[in-house]
Structure 1
Amino acid sequence: MKNILIDIIVCPECSGELKVNGYNIDCSSCNASYKLIDGIPELLTEKDKKELNSEITFSKRYSRSKRVSKLSYMILKQLDKIPIPNLLDARKINHSKQIENAKIILNIGGRSKSRLNKQINLDVVNNENTDLIGNVENIPLKDNSVDFINFVAVLEHIKKPHAAVKEIKRVLKKGGYVHCCAPFYYPYHADPRDISRFTREGLRLLFEDFEETRMKNIHGPTTSALKVFQIYLPILFSFNSIFIYEIEYILFSYILYPFKFLDVFFKYHWKADFISGGFAFLGRKK
């Protein structure tokens, strides 16, 4: 278990203090007991576990193709390695100063390996780089314990966005920052569910208790429209075959990719928000 977690984790049932006893973590207030899995605290309530199992079952039933989808994902990830698309979108608001000044960083839903000892990766499932297993709607951390929260591509997958933002405000120190990215004009992508979309006004309203530092489009209008056509064209020409669809999805993704560079000109168009892929928000706790 990461050292920075020892003093700030709390019981998700009663917010009581937790003590590590071998492979268990016990609450001194309500006597609840949680597992320590390979050094990673699993701080989920029984209700959280039941809901998670239900969502995973739903995801498995909904997805008809696994093997080929993984192949297409691996191939298309190569496109993301091209540095030029940084010209096209604002996926990352510059928050390097806030990161540098933060003593503890909470990365919600982050599955990439942390390069910083002060970063905690929180996820509802135990992935390769998870540091803490917990529910964002009931974060098992003390009040005012975190300096910076990264909340990217997670908001659309949770049932109660307002509850999650309320929890973010609770665990964030006064003057601390939250960086959130959420989709608007973007195709369905279950992980394990896909529930919500947010306009600029909607995301701003969700974080109305925070002082807005900056807000930007994630993708320009061309990139957003092409995301839809990457799915629509294979639907049109695959004759309801999963295999043909997946092959055509890869093919059309590469064919359409160069058109994204039109967003060099259109990303600041006055109507760009109408079909933006989503929005990035940086806010400060008042």
Structure 2
Amino acid sequence: MKNLNKEIFKDEYKINNGKYIFIPVQEEIVTDFLDKIKYKLKKFNKIYSALIEVVSPVYPQPFFDARKIIRNEIKGKNVVALNLGSGNSDFGNDLINVDLLPYQNVDVICDIENIPFKDNSIDYIINIAVLEHVPNPQKVISEIHRILKPTGKIYCFIPFMQPFHASPYDFQRFTYEGMKHQFKDFNIIKIKSIGPTSGMLWVVQEWFALVFSFGIKPLHTFLYLFFMLITFPIKFLDVLLQFYPMSKNMATGFSVWAEKK
């Protein structure tokens, strides 16, 4: 368990197995066979993280960005930083992992539409591929704004060109202009498009699985994983292509760096 200062909490909590619990504990909802595979792999954090970064169709720029932020702006400094909507990911002891579900690496279990931290109590928040899975993303962003200290910072990645991926739910996508609107109450430092190749590749993998499965769902899952395994290296073209000015038109998603005004 990380050494949390309990004074930053605004709500009552219980402690169980080193986790601060603010809501009734629930298990992950598994929706299909692929979800079952992901659910089992999530218990092995390093393996799952490696598969996401290497084999998944999305170029892992957000994870590179997060590690750079931790290294340059958080590590060794007197700041309170959250990995909000962490799942079972873990960037180390410099971030407090906050999630709805009781994964092994989670420190605080809560609903991120009602974050149990006091106003103006957090210095930095990292939020990667989470807001598409919440029904009210603007409520979460408002909560982020509330708990950040003045000039506190948020790094957030939200998908744009990605197929449906329930975990267990999947509600929305955002364009470049949509990102600006969502973070209108912040001072936006930068918005960066991520992965135009990734935006294409995931759709193509799903399309081939759809066409050649002939409507047979188990075959679709097998083919999707097969096409992912044989085509994932293509995504690394985004090392360069993500910097092309018009990559935002078909980006897999957008990262925003923003500061509380």
TM-score, length basis structure 2: 0.83
Is there any run of 5+ residues in structure 2 with no aligned partner, and where? none
Could you tell me which residue of structure 1 aligns to residue 162 of structure 2?
186
CA 231–126 in structure 1, closer or farther in 2 if over 3 Å, else same = same
Indicate the RMSD between aligned Cα atoms, in angstroms: 3.0
Match of 1:38 among 17, 37, 40: 17
Whole-Å Cα distance in 2 between the matches of residues 214 and 143 of structure 1? Answer: 25
How far is the alpha carbon of 1:222 from its aligned partner?
2.0
CA 125–173 in structure 1, closer or farther in 2 if over 3 Å, else same = same
How far is the alpha carbon of 1:178 from its aligned partner?
0.5
Could you tell me which residue of structure 2 aligns to residue 131 of structure 1?
107
How far is the alpha carbon of 1:198 from its aligned partner?
0.7
Could you tell me which residue of structure 1 aligns to residue 89 of structure 2?
112
For the Cα contact (< 8 Å) 1:185–1:277, is it kept in 2?
A: yes
For the Cα contact (< 8 Å) 2:85–2:97, is it kept in 1?
A: yes
Match of 1:251 among 226, 246, 255: 226
The answer to whether residue 214 in structure 2 is matched with residue 235 in structure 1 is: no
Whole-Å Cα distance in 2 between the matches of residues 267 and 114 of structure 1? Answer: 24
**Which stretch shifts more, 243-252 or 273-282?**
243-252
Is there any run of 5+ residues in structure 1 with no aligned partner, and where? 12-17, 19-24, 26-34
For the Cα contact (< 8 Å) 2:153–2:259, is it kept in 1?
A: yes
CA 71–132 in structure 1, closer or farther in 2 if over 3 Å, else same = closer
Instruction: State how many pairs are aligned.
Output: 250
Whole-Å Cα distance in 1 between the matches of residues 256 and 207 of structure 2? Answer: 29
Equivalent runs, 1:44-123 vs 2, <5 Å: 44=23, 60=30, 62-63=31-32, 77-78=50-51, 80-81=53-54, 90-91=61-62, 92-93=64-65, 94-95=68-69, 96-100=71-75, 101=77, 103-110=79-86, 111-116=88-93, 118-123=94-99
The answer to whether residue 192 in structure 2 is matched with residue 216 in structure 1 is: yes
**Which stretch shifts more, 227-236 or 107-116?**
107-116
Matched residue type, 1:233: F
Give the structure with higher Rg (CA): 1
CA 76–112 in structure 1, closer or farther in 2 if over 3 Å, else same = closer
TM-score, length basis structure 1: 0.76
How far is the alpha carbon of 1:127 from its aligned partner?
0.7
How far is the alpha carbon of 1:207 from its aligned partner?
0.9
Equivalent runs, 1:154-193 vs 2, <5 Å: 154-193=130-169
